[in-house]
Structure 1
Amino acid sequence: MNHVVLARKYRPRSFDQMVGQEHVVQALGNALTSGRLHHAYLFTGTRGIGKTTVSRILAKSLNCTGPDGQGGVTARPCGQCLACTEIDADRYIDYIELDAASNRSIDEIRDLIERAAYKPSVGRYKVFMIDEAHQLTKDAFNALLKTLEEPPEYLKFVLATTDPEKMLPTVLSRCLQFNLRPMPPEVVHAHLQAVLEAEHVPADAGSLRLLSRAARGSMRDALSLTDQAIAYGAGKLDEAGVRSMLGSVDRRHAARLVQALAERDGAAVLATVNELRSLGLSAAGTLEEMAGLLQQMAVEQAVPGALDENDPDVAEAQRLASLMPADETQLLYSIVLHGRGELSLVSDDYAALTMVLLRLLAFPPAGPAPVPAPRAAPLQVTPREARLSTAPRPAVAPPPKALPAAARPPAPAATPAPRSAPDVARAVAPRDDEPPPWVDDALPEVDADAAPMPAFDEPPPSSPKPAAPALVTTALGDRWAALLQPVLASGAIGALVRELAWQAELVGVEAQADGAQLWRLSVERDSLRTPALRDKLQAALVAAGAAGLRLELEPGVAADSMARRDAAEREAAQRAAEQLIQGDPAVRALMSQFRTARIVPGSIKPVSEPRTPS
C-alpha cells in the first residue's frame, strides 16, 4: 500500500474533526441546520489552516444524502454516501476546484460561467471553489461579478484567498466572509500528539513543542514537518534530532545573551555569538528565540504569575525577568524584532547579529546623568591700551609643570576675532609685528594673607539647585536596616525585589492574633507595590530568620529608607572629600600661584564608596 502523507491522511472530513477554527464551524453549522444559506462564501487566512478543507466539508454538507440515500442538507455529513466519498476522493462531478494561481485569465472564468448554466448532474448543489482568488485578473473578476451576485439557486460559490486586500471591493461585498485564524502552538501540539499516537510513533514533549512553534499557526505545515522529522529520526522523534533538523537555537543560548545584556557584559555577548558561529546555529533563529523569551519576560513583569507553569521554558523567563527592568525588556524586544531585517544587509550574519545585540549597550542604564567632561575656559587677550586701564583681567600663568588634574589651569583656546563694539576692554588679536602682550608683563604679587580664589564656579543665581530634605532616622528605620542588610549582602533576592526593599520605609509593626507580626512598608513607586514582589521579599526575609513575618505595602513617600540613608552617606562622604581637598596646603599653594586655576567640578570622589544594593 502506498504511503499517504500525514497532511492528506489526517485532513478533517467533517466539521467535528476540525480544530482551531471553532468560530467558522459554529457559524456554518448553524446556517446549514437552519437552512439560511448564502450563495457565495469567502474564506481568508494564511496557508495550511483549512480553507480548502472547509470548502470540501461544506460541499459534502450541501449534497449529503445519508447512508440510506434519504438525507438532506446537514451540518454532519455521513461520510458514506456517494457525494461524501466522491468529494473526499476529489472526483465529484458537481464540485469543481479552480486554482486561480495558474488559471487566472478571463477565458477560464468564462468557461466556469458556461458550466454554471447547467443544473447539477448527480448532486443537490453545484459548488464552484476558486482557490487563491486574489490572483484573478481584473477582467476575470469583472466577468464573474454578475454571476457571483445572482447565481442560480442550485449554485454555490466558495472563494479562498491568503491576501484579501487584493480582492476587489465589489467581490467582497457579494460574499459572506470568514477569517480563518492561525492556530496557537498549544492547539497544534495537542493535534500532533494525537496523530503520532495514532501512527504509533514515539515522541517526547520537547520535539512536539519545537514542531508546534515552527509551524507558525499552519496545521498543514506542522504535519509536513512531522513527516520530515519521522524520516530524519528513523521512526521516532526526540528534541535533539528535531532541533537539528529545524536548525532551531536552544533556549539556553538566548537566555545567556539576555542575561549578558541585562548585566551589560559585552564580553559575554561576544563570547556567546562566537559560540553560535562555531556551532553553525542560525543568527535569525537566535533573534527569534530571544524574541520569544523576551515576550515571556515582559508578561511576567507586567502580570506576575500569568505564564503557563507547565511550559518548561517559563522558569528561565521568570528568572531573567527579575534581572532586567521592564523598560529595557521592551527596548530589547523592539531591537531584536527590527534587527532580523538587518541580517540580510551584510554578508556576515554573525557580525550583523553582534551589532544588533550591542545596540542595547549603547543606551545608558537608568540612573543619574553622567557628569559632563570639563571644558577649558577661553583665554581673553586684550590690547596694550586696555591692559593699562583699571579694568581687571585674569592673570595668565607660564606653561605649568606637571600639576594634579584638580589644580591644572585651563588650556588657552583660539583667540576670538575683534568685534566692532566700542568697549576698550574687548578681546582682539595682536598684530603680527607686535610681540605678545604678556611678554613684558610681570606676574602680580601674591599676598600670602589674601583670601584664596574660590575653588568652584558658583551656579547661576537664576537656577539654584533645590536642597534635599534632611534625613531624619527613626527607630523603625534602624530595625528595617538591621533586618535587611544581611539579606542584601547574601544576594538572595532579584533586582526588582531588591529595589523594593531598598526604596521601602518601615512605618509600623503590628502584632497579629496568630502570633505573627505585620510589618507595614511605605513605597512610593506603583510598579514596586505588587503582590508578587511583596511575596518574594517576604519569603527571603523569613528564610533569613524573620519567622512569622508578614509584609503589607501601602502608598507613600519614604522618608527613612535604605535608599535615603545611602544617599545621605554619599553626600556626607562627598562633602568631606571636597573639604579635605580644599583645605590641603599643597592645593591652596597651587591655587594661590595660578590665580586662574580651578578645581574641576565633579572631579573629587571619595576613596571609599558607600554601600549599594548589590
Structure 2
Amino acid sequence: MSYLVLARKYRPKSFTEMVGQEHVVRALGNALQTGRLHHAYLFTGTRGVGKTTVSRILAKSLNCVGPDGSGGITDQPCGVCQACTDIDSGRFVDYTELDAASNRGVDEVQALLEQAVYKPVQGRFKVFMIDEVHMLSNTAFNAMLKTLEEPPEYLKFVLATTDPQKVPVTVLSRCLQFNLRPMAPETVLEHLVKVLAAENVPAEPAALRLIARAARGSMRDALSLTDQAIAFGSGQLQVETVRQMLGSVDRSHVFQLIDALAQGDGKTVVETSETLRVNGQSAASTLEEMSVVLQRMAVLQAVPDSADESDPEGAETARLAALLPADETQLLYSLCLHGRGELGLAPDEYAALTMVLLRLLAFKPGVAGSAEKKTLKSPETRAAASVPVARPAAPVAAAPVSAPTPPVAARPITATAPPSSAAPVHPSHGQVLSVVDAAHPTPPATPVAGAPAAAKVMAVPVRVAPESRADAPGPSAGSPLVPTEEGAYWHLTVQQLVASEAVTALVRELALQSQLVARDSDQWLLRVERESLNSTSSRERLQAALQAAGHNVTLAVEIGRVGDSPAKRNAAIAEEKQQAAEKLIYEDPFVQTMMRDFGAKIVPGSIKPIDINA
C-alpha cells in the first residue's frame, strides 16, 4: 500500500474543513445557499493556501446530488455521491482542470472552449478550472474573453493565480475575485496538532511552533515539513531534531545576543557569533530570529498587556523588553533587517554576521566611545585646543574680515611660550585660533616674566570666508527699484519680445537685466551690471529682435549700476501679488476662525498668487 502524503491525505473535502479562509468560505456559502451564483470566480493567494481546494469544493457543491440522489446545489456537499467521489478522485468528466503553466497557448485554450458548447454529461454544471492563469499568453486571454463574459448557463469558470497583477483587467472585470490570505502561525499550529493527533505521532509543541513559523503562511508547506520532520525524527517530532532539520537558530542564542547587546558586552557577542559558526547555524536565520524576537519586544513595550501566556519564551521576551529601551529596540530591529541584505555581499557570511552584531553594539548609546562626539583631534591637540596659537610680535596689519562677524577679543597667552624660530607657526588640525576684530585691534599681550623681548606674541586674526559663493552679495543685491519713464517703456517692449519668443537664453537675460538709459530716434543706450551679458553676439541679436518688432534703432550698452530693469519690475509686481494673496487669505473670516478657535497655522510659503488670465 503506497503512502499518501499529509498534504493530500488531509486536503479539505468541504467548506467546514477549510482552515484560515473564513472570509472566502462565508461568501461562497451564502452564494450557494441563496442561489446567487456568478459564472466566473478568481482565487488569488500565495502557494499552499487552498486555491485548488476551494475550486474542487465549489465544483462538488454545484454538482452534489446527496446520498439519496435527490439533493440540489448546497454549501455542504455530501462527499459520498457519484459526483463528489469522482471530483475528489479527479475523474469527473464535467470538471476540467487546466494547468496554464504548461498549456499557455491559444490552441490549448481554444480546445478547452470547444467543450463549452456541449451540455454536462454527468453533472449539473460544467466547471473549467484554470490554474496559474497569469501564465496564459495574451492571445490565449483574448480568445477566452467572449466566452468568459457570456458563458452558457451550465458553465462555470474558476481561475486561480499566485500573481493577479499579471492578469489583464479585461479578465479581472469579468470575475468575482477572492483573495486567500496567508495563514497565521497560530492557525497552522492548531491544525498541525489535529493532524498529528489523528496520525498518532508524538510531537513537542515547540517543534510544531518551529514548523508553523517556517511554513510562512502556507498550510501545504507546513504539512510537507511535518512529513519531513517525521521521517527525520524517526516517527516523532522533537524540537532539537526539527531545529536541526530546518537549520534554524536556537532561540537561546538569540536571547543571549540581545541580552549582551543590551548590556554592551562585546565579548559575549563575538563569542556567541563564533559558537554559531562552529555549530554551522545559518547567519540569515540568526538575524531573522533576532528580528522576530525584537518585534515581539517592541509590541510588549508598546502594549504591556499583549503577552501570550501560552508562549514558553514569553517570560524571556518580556525580561528583555524591560531591559532594553524602546528606541534601542527599534534601532536593533532596523539594523537586523538591513543586515540580512548585506550577508550576500561579504566573502564570508559569518564575518558579515559578526560585523552586523558589532554595528548593533557600536550604535548603542552609552557604550564606551559611542557617546563621545567623533572628532579628528588627537589627545594632545585636544589638550592644547584651549590655548590660542600665536606668532612672534611683528608689525602685522589687521586683515579685513571678509564676512560680518561679532567682535571677539583675543586671549593673551598665560603659559610660557617656547622659543620661536623665524619661521611662522602653522596651526595643526584641531587647534583653535582666536579671532581679532579689525575695527577693534587688541593691544599686544603682556610679556611673560623672564622671557626674552623677542618672545612677545599677539593673536593673529583669522579670515572668515563665506560658506559658498551664493552667500556673497551680487552687484545689484538689495538695490531697490527706482522707476523711470524710460524704464516703463523698456519694460513694455521687453515683455512683448519675451511673449513672442523673439529673444531667448542670454539675449533674453540681457533684455531683462538691462536699463534703458536714453533713447533717440535711431539709437538706444542700455546699461547692465554684468560684463558677461554685454557680449557682441547677444547685443546684435537683441538689436535684430528690436528691429523685427518695428524699432529701427542701434543699441549701445554700457556697464553701470541698474536701478530700473524689466527684471526688477517683474520682481516688484510678483511681490505685490504675493502680498495681496497673503492679505486675502489672512483676512478671510473662515481662516481667522480656524486660527483662533483651533490654533491652525498657515504653512510659510504655501500661499501662491494665481494668475486668472493664465
For the aligned pair, the TM-score class normalised by the smaller chain equals: 0.5 to 0.7
Write the deviation string for residues 35-86 of structure 1: whole angstroms up to 9, x where unpaired. Answer: 0001111111110010000000000000111111111111011111111001
Q: How does 1:360-379 map to 2 (within 5 A)?
A: 360-365=360-365, 370=372, 374=382, 375=385, 379=389
Write the deviation string for residues 270-299 of structure 1: whole angstroms up to 9, x where unpaired. Answer: 111000000111111111111111111111
Could you tell me which amino acid in structure 2 is paired with residue 217 of structure 1? G
Matched with 2:346 is 346
CA contact (8 A) 1:386 1:424 kept: no
Let me know the Cα RMSD of the aligned residues: 3.1
- Does 2:212 match 1:193? no
- Does 2:48 match 1:29? no
Q: CA deviation at 1:412?
A: 4.1
Could you tell me which amino acid in structure 1 is paired with residue 253 of structure 2? H
Q: How does 1:158-557 map to 2 (within 5 A)?
A: 158-365=158-365, 370=372, 374=382, 375=385, 379-381=389-391, 384-386=394-396, 394=412, 397-399=416-418, 412-413=427-428, 441-443=453-455
Taking the aligned partners of 1:82 and 1:146, their CA distance within structure 2 comes to: 32
Q: Give me the TM-score of the superposition, normalised by structure 1.
A: 0.64
Q: How does 1:567-578 map to 2 (within 5 A)?
A: none
SS in 2 for 1:322: helix
Q: CA deviation at 1:128?
A: 0.8
CA contact (8 A) 1:378 1:413 kept: no
**CA 1:22–1:364: 2 relative to 1, 3 Å:** closer
Q: CA deviation at 1:224?
A: 0.6
Could you tell me which amino acid in structure 2 is paired with residue 399 of structure 1? P
- Which structure: larger Rg? 2
Q: CA deviation at 1:338?
A: 2.0
Taking the aligned partners of 2:16 and 2:329, their CA distance within structure 1 comes to: 42
Q: How does 1:92-111 map to 2 (within 5 A)?
A: 92-111=92-111
**CA 1:393–1:2: 2 relative to 1, 3 Å:** closer
**CA 1:411–1:334: 2 relative to 1, 3 Å:** same
Matched with 1:130 is 130
Q: What fraction of aligned residue pairs are identical, expressed as a percent?
A: 64
**CA 1:413–1:254: 2 relative to 1, 3 Å:** closer
Write the deviation string for residues 7-57 of structure 1: whole angstroms up to 9, x where unpaired. Answer: 101100011111111111111000000000011111111100100000000
Write the deviation string for residues 364-388 of structure 1: whole angstroms up to 9, x where unpaired. Answer: 5179964676446663547733499
Taking the aligned partners of 2:208 and 2:454, their CA distance within structure 1 comes to: 89
Taking the aligned partners of 2:358 and 2:165, their CA distance within structure 1 comes to: 38
- Does 2:12 match 1:2? no
Could you tell me which amino acid in structure 1 is paired with residue 395 of structure 2? E
Taking the aligned partners of 2:85 and 2:418, their CA distance within structure 1 comes to: 102
Write the deviation string for residues 498-518 of structure 1: whole angstroms up to 9, x where unpaired. Answer: xxxxxxxxxxxxxxxxxxxxx
- Does 2:98 match 1:88? no
Taking the aligned partners of 1:424 and 1:28, their CA distance within structure 2 comes to: 90
Taking the aligned partners of 2:260 and 2:123, their CA distance within structure 1 comes to: 66
Taking the aligned partners of 1:399 and 1:274, their CA distance within structure 2 comes to: 54
Taking the aligned partners of 1:186 and 1:307, their CA distance within structure 2 comes to: 14
CA contact (8 A) 1:376 1:412 kept: no
SS in 1 for 2:307: coil
Could you tell me which amino acid in structure 1 is paired with residue 28 of structure 2? L
**CA 1:385–1:46: 2 relative to 1, 3 Å:** same
Q: CA deviation at 1:340?
A: 1.4
Matched with 1:49 is 49
Could you tell me which amino acid in structure 2 is paired with residue 66 of structure 1? G
Could you tell me which amino acid in structure 2 is paired with residue 22 of structure 1? E
Matched with 2:534 is none
Q: CA deviation at 1:198?
A: 1.0
Matched with 1:509 is none
CA contact (8 A) 2:392 2:456 kept: no
Could you tell me which amino acid in structure 2 is paired with residue 379 of structure 1? V
Could you tell me which amino acid in structure 1 is paired with residue 209 of structure 2? R
Could you tell me which amino acid in structure 2 is paired with residue 144 of structure 1? M
Taking the aligned partners of 2:195 and 2:279, their CA distance within structure 1 comes to: 33
Could you tell me which amino acid in structure 1 is paired with residue 363 of structure 2? F
Write the deviation string for residues 194-246 of structure 1: whole angstroms up to 9, x where unpaired. Answer: 11111111112121111111111111011111111111111111111111111
Could you tell me which amino acid in structure 2 is paired with residue 384 of structure 1? A
Taking the aligned partners of 2:180 and 2:411, their CA distance within structure 1 comes to: 82
Q: CA deviation at 1:303?
A: 0.7
SS in 1 for 2:304: coil
CA contact (8 A) 1:382 1:425 kept: no
Matched with 2:514 is none
CA contact (8 A) 2:393 2:454 kept: no
Could you tell me which amino acid in structure 1 is paired with residue 418 of structure 2? P
Write the deviation string for residues 439-472 of structure 1: whole angstroms up to 9, x where unpaired. Answer: 9844469xxxxxxxxxxxxxxxxxxxxxxxxxxx
- What are the ranges of 5 or more consecutive residues in structure 1 without an aligned counterpart? 401-409, 427-438, 446-614
CA contact (8 A) 1:99 1:131 kept: yes
- What are the ranges of 5 or more consecutive residues in structure 2 without an aligned counterpart? 399-408, 420-424, 443-450, 458-614
Matched with 1:463 is none
Q: CA deviation at 1:346?
A: 1.9
Taking the aligned partners of 2:48 and 2:333, their CA distance within structure 1 comes to: 28
Matched with 1:58 is 58
Q: CA deviation at 1:123?
A: 1.1
Q: CA deviation at 1:305?
A: 2.4
CA contact (8 A) 2:264 2:364 kept: no
Indicate the structure whose relative CO is greater, using CA pairs within 8 Å and at least 6 residues apart: 1
SS in 1 for 2:159: strand
Taking the aligned partners of 2:192 and 2:104, their CA distance within structure 1 comes to: 35
Q: CA deviation at 1:145?
A: 1.4
Matched with 1:564 is none
**CA 1:442–1:18: 2 relative to 1, 3 Å:** same
What is the number of residues matched between the two proteins? 421
Taking the aligned partners of 1:85 and 1:74, their CA distance within structure 2 comes to: 16
Could you tell me which amino acid in structure 2 is paired with residue 33 of structure 1? Q
Write the deviation string for residues 404-453 of structure 1: whole angstroms up to 9, x where unpaired. Answer: xxxxxx9944999xxxx999979xxxxxxxxxxxx9844469xxxxxxxx
SS in 1 for 2:306: coil
Write the deviation string for residues 88-117 of structure 1: whole angstroms up to 9, x where unpaired. Answer: 001111111111111111221111221212
